[in-house]
Amino acid sequence: MRTQAILGFLSFTPYVQEYLDAAHSVLNHLGSISPYHRAHHASDINSQLPSDCTVDQVMLMHRHGSRGPIGEHKHINYLVQTLDNASDVVQEANLSRELEFLRAGYSSNLTPHNLTILGRKELFDHGVEFALRYPYLTAGDILSSDSERVVESARWFALGFFGLDADVRISTVSDTDDPVSWITPAPGRACPKFDYSFGQQATLTWSKQYLPAITDRLNKLLPGVGFSENDIHGALFACAYDLAARGISPWCDVFQPEELADFEYERDILMDASCAYTLPDNMAPLVGTVFVNKLIERFTNSSGDSSPLYLEFGHDVTILLALSALGLAKDDPPLSPDELRPDRKFRTSELTPFAANMVWERFTCTRSFDGPQIRLILNDATFPLSICGKGMDTTLGTCSLDTFIKANHYSTGIQFQDETWNKTCGL
């Protein structure tokens, strides 16, 4: 079964598992630009709470759905131009099976930044699933980053969750309105030293190691075209973004499993160095404390006005900053752009694919546990709260709310513009 199989429309066919099996390797090697798929964090964790337990409070942080490229479209354009310039060579070539599609030509009409059709479907489906999972919880407000694709994602989710005629308000927040919001994609004025360029440098270092070999291989398969490393980068991005837009891409079959694994690592070290553990000066965990402290405030009702349900929409950065503050999916030693780490914990295809959803549950039980408990469900799979140490229930991956709060003493000890914040962020 070819990985070219339709991914985005799987729920419409009777052959869902067959297609999923075929596409699984691709879905797991596109990093944070993977189409949404259920994660597999820990196979030994029971996803069902005991029958005497009830979830009484939920906090959702949802990434926007599948979108068009941002910046990467320049590489795709390089590829298209190279193929156009060599169209005569392509027509006369003895093409291998995986490159046969080039005889009909390849073009890209991806719209940068915008939510795709499949991105809308991801959010609508998640809204429906969320309503089925928590039929007794409701909210009158949705909070969203002011990014257009995030606001649209919130609307599609709301349509699935509330239906057509729901009286729900979507409020937006930007780093101008609230410089220390847990919603905005980056801290902006709140942390001037925070800079995505750290991730770009890591990407450049790794790409110099793995792209030349792929470029040589494809130039031997199709001599005369003269693929550059930029073209090959474009083909890898075309695989990912064609899937995000249409659920199908001929480019995904062009690459071998180890080449996709290298591309995945590129995406992981990009995000790790941009907004997670290898960002200098412990900056990501520091900024992520804003989310963790908001979670604790709500689940303890320390402000006196907590709601049973919070529906909030942001970016992959939002989720990764929070995970960094929690010390989850952390590698030791840290990831490096100098060598591939196949056994790493930090995999953005599992943590923050398009339409990633981080769901925090507060639950209580009549017999199984004493006092309120907390659970993290990340992309439809329980993520074990290893930060709780021996206080984590090894069967459910949960821990008591009290244990969770004590384990997060780093976050609770940080406040915006305190000495640690100002020193780290350059305020």
Do 56 and 77 fall within a single domain?
Answer: no
**In a domain? residue 316:** yes
Domain boundary among 242, 267, 292: 267
What residues contact residue 159 under an 8 Å CB cut-off, 6+ apart? 124, 127
CA dist 46 and 300 (Å) reads: 25
Domain boundary among 244, 267, 290: 267
Q: Determine which one of 268, 272, 316, 393 is catalytic.
A: 316
Contact 68, 114 (CB under 8 A): yes
Instruction: Please report the pLDDT score of residue 24 as a whole number.
Output: 52
The Cβ-side half-sphere exposure at 350, using a 13 Å CA radius, reads: 17
**In a domain? residue 101:** yes
Do 65 and 77 fall within a single domain?
Answer: no
**In a domain? residue 275:** no
Instruction: Please report the pLDDT score of residue 184 as a whole number.
Output: 66
Domain of residue 251 covers: 72-109+200-267
**In a domain? residue 14:** no
Both structure tokens of 176: 């101008």
CA dist 249 and 413 (Å) reads: 48
Q: Determine which one of 29, 41, 64, 75 is catalytic.
A: 64
Reported as type and span, the H/E element at residue 159 is helix 148-162
Contact 156, 127 (CB under 8 A): yes
Contact 157, 312 (CB under 8 A): no
Do 342 and 215 fall within a single domain?
Answer: no
Do 146 and 286 fall within a single domain?
Answer: yes
Do 76 and 147 fall within a single domain?
Answer: no
Instruction: Please report the pLDDT score of residue 196 as a whole number.
Output: 83
**In a domain? residue 406:** yes
Give yes or no: 343 in active site.
no
Domain boundary among 267, 296, 321: 267
What residues contact residue 74 under an 8 Å CB cut-off, 6+ apart? none
Domain count, the chain: 2
Do 92 and 162 fall within a single domain?
Answer: no
Do 342 and 401 fall within a single domain?
Answer: yes
- Placement of tokens 């906090």 in the chain: 59
Do 153 and 263 fall within a single domain?
Answer: no
Contact 191, 251 (CB under 8 A): no
Categorise residue 111: left if φ over 0, alpha if ψ from -120 to 50, beta otherwise: beta
- Placement of tokens 């180890």 in the chain: 258
Do 301 and 329 fall within a single domain?
Answer: yes
Reported as type and span, the H/E element at residue 206 is helix 197-221
CB atoms within 10 A of CB 157: 31
Do 65 and 76 fall within a single domain?
Answer: no
Instruction: Please report the pLDDT score of residue 41 as a whole number.
Output: 83
**In a domain? residue 18:** no
Q: What is the pLDDT of residues 209-264, one digit of tens each?
A: 999 999 999 999 999 999 999 999 999 999 999 999 999 999 999 999 999 999 99
CB atoms within 10 A of CB 303: 9
Strand order in the sheet with 141-145: 169-173, 141-145, 309-314, 53-63, 357-365, 373-378, 399-400
Both structure tokens of 409: 């003493």
CATH number at residue 411: 3.40.50.1240
Do 215 and 173 fall within a single domain?
Answer: no
Provide the residue-wise pLDDT of the chain in tens; the chain has 427 residues: 344 434 444 443 433 334 344 445 687 789 999 999 999 887 789 999 999 999 999 999 999 999 999 989 999 999 999 999 999 999 999 999 999 999 999 988 888 899 999 999 999 999 999 999 999 999 989 999 999 999 999 999 999 999 987 788 999 988 776 767 766 666 778 888 988 888 999 999 999 999 999 999 999 999 999 999 999 999 999 999 999 999 999 999 999 999 999 999 999 999 999 999 999 999 999 999 999 999 999 999 999 999 999 999 999 999 999 999 999 999 999 999 999 999 999 999 999 999 999 999 999 999 999 999 999 999 999 999 999 999 999 999 999 999 999 999 999 999 988 999 999 998 8
Q: Shortest CA distance to 207 belongs to which of 186, 244, 237, 238?
A: 237
**In a domain? residue 277:** no
Give yes or no: 64 in active site.
yes
Do 310 and 399 fall within a single domain?
Answer: yes
**In a domain? residue 3:** no
